[in-house]
Amino acid sequence: MSGLNPQAQEANDIIRKNNPAVYELLSKKGRAIYYPSKGILAQGAAAKNKNINATIGTAYEDDASPMVLPGLANLMNIDRKDVFPYAPSQGINPLRTKWQELIREKNPSLGKTLISLPVTACGVTNALSMTAYMFIDEEDEVILSDLYWENYDLVFGNAYGAEFEYFNFFKDGIFDIESFHNKVCNGQTSKKIVLLNFPNNPSGYSPTPQAANEIVQALEESAKAGNQLVVILDDSYFGLIFEDDVYEESLFARLASLHENLLAVKTDGITKEEYAWGLRIGFITYGIKNGTPELYAALEGKTSGAIRGNISNAPHPSQSLFVNALRSETYAQEKVTNKEKIRDRYEKVKTVLLAHKEYADYFEALPFNSGYFMCVRIHSGNAESVRQILLKKYGTGVIALGDLIRIAFSSTPLSKIELLMSNIYWAAKEALGK
């Protein structure tokens, strides 16, 4: 590719040398992007701790502390140097190293597999967008399930011109591995972009260990056949598992060392995992069989360049707040407490559905075992009609998706779960005219 910045070319050469397949997976933007380590940033770094540093586009007091509004600083119970200055585009190192440690702790199957240091994004949405920047060109096909988060339309379709190729998510109440296998293995040998989201939004489904094995086997077969794959793991709801027979780790743990033709990209964040939606901190982590420190450093640099060119950096105070929260002695127990509250609501939905067989006359629940949501499919009717009746007659809000209604049990008080399901029943009965 001609006309590249020398720093972009240098990173491309490193990637191509360490793994030609990863280079082939890069989009045009991904090949052209670079982290400007030899320009203003390098000159600023060289001036750090000098007697006079007139390089930084930040205002400082005479004592070198950040110049801030006291009324604003007083609202933050944290050192102002950890709040107000710019954070690095790749994120603050204490957070990046800690998140990598947490990925390993939560995914023991990773073992000693070498993975990249996570790059910090502004929430999972931005992590997904920057992943698309790196790997998706206009009219590239993204293979994903027919049950998906509608924001993918904006993130991948509108922003980067991707086309969607759907596999059927469920067949006979289980993951449709045949449909998935056909999409990732059939056709001409080529670059393939696969997007997997577990626990799934909107269905609230995560694969069983058997289904997880079958997914991994299909991807391995595709890679062995010569396809070059980038597999994006949207792990937004990671850890929110409520049944025993569910694969508890991220598929990233298996895919990060599966094959030299398969690059696994884990996108996750503190949004749902850490109950910190508004702090807007997400991460992008890479893994590939026989990945090297040089390969990962080049990918991290390009990703950091993409972030710098789009949002500059993720919020510094959010990163510092979370690092400090992790040091709390009560952190682990606080997470358990919140998860149990959501589990109780999940269990209540299951109990209500089992107790009311008459609901099956008007809708059926899709398989669900994790996450924030579950879905019911309305029989012979438009879910939007049911939604409108719920709003107008029952003071109840849900999301309509074609013939599905998505129910967020995560945000519904336990005491109102039974009423919620009853309201859906009566609204569906009215909508279907039976």
Q: What tokens does 13 get? A: 């050469």
Q: Are 92 and 316 in contact (CB under 8 A)?
A: yes
Looking at the chain, the domain(s) classified CATH 3.90.1150.10 span 331-432
The residue with tokens 């390993």 is: 104
Fold of 11-33+89-326: Aspartate Aminotransferase; domain 2 (3.40.640)
pLDDT digits (tens, 9 = 90+) for 176-201: 999 999 999 998 889 999 999 999 99
> How would DSSP label each residue in 227-290?
-EEEEEEE-TTTT-B-SSSS--S-THHHHTTS-TTEEEEEEEEHHHHTT-GGG--EEEEEE-TT
User: Residue 229: beta bridge partners?
Assistant: 192, 262
Share of the chain above pLDDT 90, in %: 89
Looking at the chain, the domain(s) classified CATH 3.40.640.10 span 11-33+89-326
Q: What's the rounded mean pLDDT across residues 49-76?
A: 86
Q: For residues 193 and 196, what is the distance between their CA atoms, to the nearest angstrom? A: 10
Other C-beta atoms lying within 10 Å of the C-beta of residue 66: 16
pLDDT digits (tens, 9 = 90+) for 239-259: 999 999 999 999 999 999 999
Q: 78-111 burial by CB neighbour count: b if 16+ within 10 A, else e? A: eebebbbeebbbbbbeebbebbbebbbebbebbe
Class of domain 331-432: alpha beta
CA-CA-CA-CA dihedral for 207, 108, 300, 331, to nearest 10: 90
Q: For residues 261 and 129, what is the distance between their CA atoms, to the nearest angstrom? A: 22
Q: What tokens does 188 get? A: 């001409």
- Higher-confidence position of 121 and 39: 121
Q: Are 11 and 280 in contact (CB under 8 A)?
A: no
SS3 346: helix
Rg value, the chain, Cα = 23
Residue 41 has pLDDT above 80, yes or no: no
Model pTM score: 0.95
Tell me what pLDDT residue 53 has.
79
pLDDT digits (tens, 9 = 90+) for 384-424: 999 999 999 999 999 999 999 999 999 999 999 999 999 99
pLDDT digits (tens, 9 = 90+) for 332-358: 999 999 999 999 999 999 999 999 999
Share of the chain above pLDDT 70, in %: 99
Residue 1 has pLDDT above 50, yes or no: no
Q: What tokens does 264 get? A: 């696994």
Tell me what pLDDT residue 30 has.
98
228 φ, ψ (degrees, to nearest 5) = -105, 120
29 φ, ψ (degrees, to nearest 5) = -65, -40
